Amino acid sequence: MSKKFTVSSFQKAKKDKKKISMLTAYDYSTAKLLDQAEVDSLLVGDSLGMVMLGYENTLQVTMEDMVHHCKAVSRGAKRAMVIGDMPFLSYHISIEESVRNAGRLIQEGGVHAVKLEGGRDVIDQVSAIVKAQIPVIGHLGLTPQSINMFGGFKVQGKNEETARKILEDAMLLQEAGVFAIVLECVPEKLAKLISEKLDIPTIGIGAGKYCDGQVLVTQDMLGMYTDFTPKFVKQYANLNEAIIDATKAYVNEMEEGIFPSKEHTFQIDDEVIEKLY
Ligand code: KIV
**Which sequence spans correspond to the domains of the chain?**
7-239, 242-274
**pTM, rounded to two decimals:** 0.96
Q: Work out the angle at residue 149's Cα, subtended by the Cα atoms of residues 48 and 171, and round it to the nearest 5 degrees.
A: 80
47 CA from centroid of ligand 1 (Å): 6
Cα–Cα dist 37/16, whole Å? 22
Q: Say whether 184 is catalytic.
A: yes
Superfamily of domain 7-239: Phosphoenolpyruvate-binding domains (3.20.20.60)
276 CA from centroid of ligand 1 (Å): 58
94 CA from centroid of ligand 1 (Å): 23
Q: Is the peptide bond before 260 cis (omega within 30 degrees of 0)?
A: yes
Nearest alpha-carbon partner for 195 in 4, 19, 6:
19
Which residues face 20 on adjacent strands?
213
Q: pLDDT tens for the chain, 277 residues: list them.
A: 689 999 999 999 999 999 999 999 999 999 999 999 999 999 999 999 999 999 999 999 999 999 999 999 999 999 999 999 999 999 999 999 999 999 999 999 999 999 999 999 999 999 999 999 999 999 999 999 999 999 888 899 999 999 999 999 999 999 999 999 999 999 999 999 999 999 999 999 999 999 999 999 999 999 998 888 899 999 999 999 999 999 999 999 999 999 999 999 999 999 999 999 9
Write out residues with Cβ below 6 Å of ligand 1: 24, 43, 45-47, 85, 139, 182, 184, 205, 215, 217
209-235 burial, b at 16+ Cβ within 10 Å, e below that, comes to ebbbbbbbbbbbbbbbbeeeeeebbee
Backbone phi, psi, residue 113, to 5°: -160, 165
For 132-187, where are the alpha helices, taking DSSP H only? 147-150, 160-176
- 3 contacts 191 by C-beta, under 8 angstroms: no
